[in-house]
Amino acid sequence: MTSKGQTAEPTARADERLIKVGLLTRAMRRPELGAVAGLVLVAIFFFAFANHEMFTLSGAMTILAPASQLGILAVAAALLMIGGEFDLSIGSMVAFTGLVFGASVTNFAMPLWLAILATMLVAGVMGSINGQIVIRSRLPSFIVTLAFLFILRGLTLVGLKAVTGGSTQLRGVGDAVPDGVLRNLFSGLAFEGVFSWLASQNLIEKFDNGLPKVAGVPVSVVWFVAFAALATWVLLRSRVGNWIFAVGGDPNAARNSGVPVDRVKTGLFVVTACAAALVAIITVLDAGSADARRGFQKEFEAIIAAVIGGCLLTGGYGSAIGAFFGAIIFGMVSIGLSYTSFDSDWFQVFLGTMLLVAVLFNNYIRRKVTGER
């Protein structure tokens, strides 16, 4: 090996034991590489086997709508996992905060802004309780939040029956919330004007009456993209992002360097809970009801999406943009199978395989990147 390629560094001398870092290795250093590669593979698979309806604009929206709700949870789960913790209670948190929100607007007749505030506040408190128990007891977050998975699901059932007088579904939320700018932030479609303009210019498919076949983007997709972008910026550019990687990588070293480890972890639990509350508000407004089964098993799906996105189960490594792609893969596979002639129950097989491959791949990459031996 020669010193070629290091001429920019006059003081640098070539180390004969170091293989020159190629573009591929540098790409492999990005934790989201696996998710991008996975997405390409999955897309190729469906391109070959699925009805091409799937690859139209309306097909894309059909995939993105569920992917975005999962994705909001997955990005939050990814942040928390990078910070070295799990939250298994997010699925139940979706149901529980859905109840809080639903009861706020119907039973307590709160205005929408107050109901949203109250829901976020409850989520924040629950998140910090999770965090404080984990930090103070030094128990694995896996077990603490597993307890809350059941506690919150149970509370939702009990609470729903209490406010409805025996039902596990709280209806009438849609009617209780008046139309308005604030409601449109959390339900319905965004960019409808853009889509009808595109249709009028014959740039997208439209019905015979001139209306576009796809009237807009579900707001959850907008939230999903915005949240993933913000999380990515925070992780890679902000000080807090540096601290998140640090507390997940080695809490002791982080603490010795002056990083407020406990505050960072608590903050991450709060963010995760609030992400669940956001999904709850969106789903409750969309469906018009709060339901005890909402968010069932979403905690596992979110963690799977985060892992497919390159997060290590041991913390300290991963990416929000990876979780973004992970969630899209998830949506693509779960919805996409109905566009093929395959039995859609293959979904779970596919998912498990994908998870296993992702974990193996991540571990391999981690060893490569860090030179761990």
Partner 1 sequence: MTDAASPVTTPVIDVRNIAKHYGSVIALSGISLTLNRGEVHCLLGDNGAGKSTLIKLLSGVVRPTTGDFLVDGEPKSFSSPRDALDAGIATVYQDLAMIPLMSVTRNFFMGREPLKGFPPFRYIDLEHCNAVTREEMAKIGIDVRDPNQAVGTLSGGERQCVAIARAVYFGAKVLILDEPTSALGVHQTSMVLKYVHQVRQKGLGVIFITHNVRHAYAVGDRFTVLNRGKTLGTQTKAGIAMDELQNLMAGGKELQQLADELGGTV
Q: Which residues in this chain contact partner 1 in the complex, by CB under 8 A?
A: 6, 9, 11-13, 15, 18, 21, 233, 237-239, 242-243, 245-246, 249-250, 252-259, 316-317, 366, 369-372
Closest CB 363 distance from partner 1, rounded Å: 13
Q: How far is the CB of 287 from partner 1 (least distance, A)?
A: 33
- Of 11 and 209, CB closest to partner 1: 11
Instruction: Write down the least CB distance from residue 126 to partner 1, Å.
Output: 24
Residue number, 353 or 370, with CB nearest to partner 1: 370
Contact 104, 121 (CB under 8 A): no
- The residue (of 210 and 371) whose beta carbon lies closer to partner 1 is 371
Nearest distance from C-beta of residue 58 to partner 1, angstroms: 36
Smallest separation, CB 328 to partner 1 (Å): 26
Q: Which is nearer to partner 1, 213 or 366 (CB)?
A: 366
146 CB-side CA count, 13 A: 5
Longest dimension (CA), the chain: 79
CB of 317 to partner 1, least distance (A): 5
Residue 36 or 369: the one with the smaller Cβ distance to partner 1 is 369
Q: Which residue, 235 or 292, has its beta carbon nearer to partner 1?
A: 235
Give least dist CB 34 to partner 1, A: 16
Name the minimum Å distance from CB 258 to partner 1: 4
Of residues 146 and 369, the one with the C-beta less far from partner 1: 369
Least distance from partner 1 to the Cβ atom of residue 282, Å: 24
d(CA 236, CA 251): 19
Q: For partner 1, which is the closer residue by CB, 5 or 154?
A: 5
Q: Which is nearer to partner 1, 12 or 40 (CB)?
A: 12
Task: Tokens 């919330």: give the residue.
Answer: 177
Q: What is the 3-state secondary structure (H, E, C) of the chain?
A: CCCCCCCCCCCCCCCCCCCCCCHHHHHHCCCCHHHHHHHHHHHHHHHHHCCHHHHCHHHHHHHHHHHHHHHHHHHHHHHHHHCCCCCCCHHHHHHHHHHHHHHHHCCCCCCHHHHHHHHHHHHHHHHHHHHHHHHHHCCCHHHHHHHHHHHHHHHHHHHHHHHHCCCCEECCHHHHCCCCHHHHHHCCEECHHHHHHHHHCCCCCECCCCCECCCCEEHHHHHHHHHHHHHHHHHHHCHHHHHHHHHHHCHHHHHHCCCCHHHHHHHHHHHHHHHHHHHHHHHHHHHCCEECCCCCCHHHHHHHHHHHCCCCCCCCCCCHHHHHHHHHHHHHHHHHHHHCCCCCCHHHHHHHHHHHHHHHHHHHHHHHHHCCC
The whole-angstrom separation of Cα 281 and Cα 272 is: 14
